[in-house]
Copies of this chain bind each other. A is one copy, B any other.
Amino acid sequence: MTFKFKNVYLNATATVTGPYEKNGPLSKYFDKSFDNLYANEKTFELAETKMLKDSVDILLGKANEKGADVFLSGDLLNQLVPSNLTALSLKIPYFGLYNACATSMEGLLLGSTLIDSGKVKNAICSVSSHNCSAEKQFRYPNEYGGSKPKVATFTATGAASAYISKTPSQIRIESGTVGKVMDLGITDVYNMGAVMAPAAADTLYQHLKDMKRDINYYDLIVTGDLGIFGKQILRDYMKEAYNMDLIKYNDCGIMLYNLNEQPVYAGGSGPVCCPLVSYSVILDRMKKGELEKVLIMSTGALHSPTLVNQKLSIPSICHAISLEVVK
């Protein structure tokens, strides 16, 4: 199911990160980075909340707005703690969303629909994740010091927010594809790239079919957080299942870190990974005229520790948003 949007624009974006992202190759593009994982708060959950709140504050400054009609937000923490607390401090109507690491584009899909329908004038769409709050919730606390396989990805720390409205800007939200849940039977909680690649393939194929577009239509297609192994699986999958060569393609999890130098295994992951890269270097390249049409595909592993303990496999989903430079 692909939605076409008539007049929805990305007016501003804001990115806040932790220290690992600051030490990565995209450092100069971020609006704010913390040197410590606690972000001067007492717990990792409150650190993530601080980053999400900061991203919204910075966003409102950049958009020159005091608030918005609605706040759509989600994160990895159970019950969406950072999103709920940010909504509390914002004091504006709130929709809580959860599609794991696919939540960023889920938010843009629903936010753009709200604007396109005239129900709201503007919206703030946010996500966050934190390496330490996520690892302790989904696997083991980092302090435990367990080793990980090469296929593991590294949950990115930070928050990213977008201000969208009908007011024209340089970047237009042209269309978006709502993903379906897929499950190819993988139970390895360290191999999220393999879990999510089939969902990414399904959404990409559906998007191109619905929009009657060739895979080379886009100047760049990015996935959220497949990592180096998942990226290759997606390329192979597109070739084998649909006979399509995925060329002008990269993965935000690979772009966010220096994979050869930083201890991030197969690359970054987490809801914030995709928009940290998309809302920074990719938008920058679009605004500079280097890229005109970009398809952003946020990939989410709907990983539940409870179900994994019950020996069940991990479902996944991918939502896509097409961004265009306004000429």
Which A residues have a C-beta under 8 Å from some C-beta of B?
1, 3, 42-43, 45-46, 69-70, 74, 77-81, 84-85, 87-88, 91-100, 106, 109-110, 113-114, 116-117, 119-120, 137, 178-183, 302-307, 310, 315, 317
* Contact call B113/A79, Cβ cutoff below 8 A: no
* Contact call B117/A117, Cβ cutoff below 8 A: yes
* Contact call A84/B315, Cβ cutoff below 8 A: yes
Question: Provided the pairs A77-B304, A79-B98, A96-B106 are in contact, do residues A181 and B88 lie with their beta carbons within 8 angstroms?
Answer: yes
Nearest chain-B residue to A4 (Cβ)?
A: B119
**Once the chains are docked, how many angstroms separate the CA of A272 from the CA of B310?**
24
Partner of A94, one of B3, B77, B96, B181: B181
Q: How far is the CB of A4 from chain B (nearest CB, A)?
A: 9
Q: How far is the CB of A245 from chain B (nearest CB, A)?
A: 26
* Contact call B181/A87, Cβ cutoff below 8 A: yes
Partner of A113, one of B43, B119, B315: B119
Which residues in B have their C-beta under 8 angstroms from that of A182? 88
Contacts A81-B306, A88-B182, A95-B109 given; 16 further ones with Cβ under 8 A? A1-B69, A45-B306, A46-B310, A74-B98, A78-B79, A78-B305, A79-B302, A80-B98, A87-B315, A88-B181, A94-B179, A94-B180, A94-B181, A95-B106, A96-B99, A113-B114
Nearest chain-B residue to A93 (Cβ)?
A: B178
**Once the chains are docked, how many angstroms separate the CA of A114 from the CA of B111?**
11
**Once the chains are docked, how many angstroms separate the CA of A306 from the CA of B45?**
9
Partner of A303, one of B79, B98, B306: B79
Which residues in B have their C-beta under 8 angstroms from that of A304? 77-79, 81, 84
Q: How far is the CB of A233 from chain B (nearest CB, A)?
A: 19
Q: How far is the CB of A208 from chain B (nearest CB, A)?
A: 16
* Contact call B70/A1, Cβ cutoff below 8 A: yes
Which residues in B have their C-beta under 8 angstroms from that of A74? 98
Q: Which of A70, A109, A137, A302 has the most CB of B within 10 A?
A: A302
* Contact call A85/B306, Cβ cutoff below 8 A: no
Question: Provided the pairs A3-B119, A74-B98, A317-B94 are in contact, do residues A302 and B84 lie with their beta carbons within 8 angstroms?
Answer: yes
**Once the chains are docked, how many angstroms separate the CA of A91 from the CA of B179?**
10
Which residues in B have their C-beta under 8 angstroms from that of A306? 45, 77-78, 81, 137
Q: Which of A46, A117, A181 has the most CB of B within 10 A?
A: A181
* Contact call B315/A88, Cβ cutoff below 8 A: yes
20 A-B contacts, Cβ less than 8 Å apart?
A1-B69, A1-B92, A1-B93, A1-B120, A78-B304, A81-B307, A84-B317, A85-B315, A87-B317, A88-B182, A93-B178, A93-B179, A93-B180, A95-B97, A95-B99, A95-B106, A96-B106, A113-B114, A113-B117, A137-B306
Nearest chain-B residue to A5 (Cβ)?
A: B119
Nearest chain-B residue to A43 (Cβ)?
A: B310
Question: Provided the pairs A94-B181, A307-B45 are in contact, do residues A100 and B79 lie with their beta carbons within 8 angstroms?
Answer: yes
**Once the chains are docked, how many angstroms separate the CA of A188 from the CA of B85?**
18
Which residues in B have their C-beta under 8 angstroms from that of A302? 79-80, 84, 96
Which residues in B have their C-beta under 8 angstroms from that of A43? 310
**Once the chains are docked, how many angstroms separate the CA of A116 from the CA of B117?**
7
